[in-house]
Amino acid sequence: MLNELITDYWQEFLLMASAHALAVASPGPDFAIVMRQSLVFGRRFAILTSIGIGLAILVHVTYAVLGIGLLIRDTVWLFTTIKIAGAAYLLYIGWQAIRVQKAEVKDFNPVSNDTMSNVKAFRQGFITNVLNPKATLFFLSLFTTIVSADTPMGIQAMYGVWMSIMTGVWFVFLSLMLTQQRVRQFFASFGHWIDRVLGAFLIILAIMLLFSTVN
């Protein structure tokens, strides 16, 4: 299958991979949540959140390949429910960020692990991506325009695995960069304000999502 992918589908793959790379690198809820995890909770939790985002891609790919995504898009009440659930979750995460208090220590250290766990970090990344309706529409458009209907399901599945891995790699890389000592020192004096700005950004995204639902 790998040889088939290289010889028969490499142009389609490159186009798909390029579109995905541009989408994943653009700022959005995933970017904001990873940045917050990196600056507030530290490298380990940021990486776990990144892995959650990467694995969530497989959910989008699965329903897009199976055609379930078209049903979701065309079923108004179902797509609206996903939008509202996504907005509510972003509001929750954003409000938690805005409520953060300034640390009383002089050196910047991630928040106590009592407020975050491995499972919670992973879950935040996974749910943030799964409930993002823009991701739903992106993968629907990707698999209905760029990816041919004649492309075998096995090849499409390989596309999905590639996008899942690359998404995780990108956000893990971002986590590593944001948790460098120099970066953490830079944010030391106003880390809580960064958290609040990111929280406000998530809330704005949620409000925009709700407005798009109403309209």
Where are the chain's structural domains? 29-214
Question: What CA–CA distance (Å, rounded) separates 8 from 116?
Answer: 46
State residue 187 phi and psi, 5-degree precision: -90, 5
- pTM for the model stands at 0.75
Question: What CA–CA distance (Å, rounded) separates 100 from 47?
Answer: 21
Question: What CA–CA distance (Å, rounded) separates 11 from 25?
Answer: 21
Asked if 206 and 87 touch (Cβ cutoff 8 Å), the reply is yes
Instruction: Provide, rounded to the nearest whole percent, the portion of the chain with pLDDT above 90.
Output: 24
- Residue 1 in this model has a pLDDT that exceeds 60: no
Burial of 106 (0-12, 13-18, 19+ CB in 10 A): exposed
Mean per-residue pLDDT for 121-150? 85
Mean per-residue pLDDT for 118-143? 88
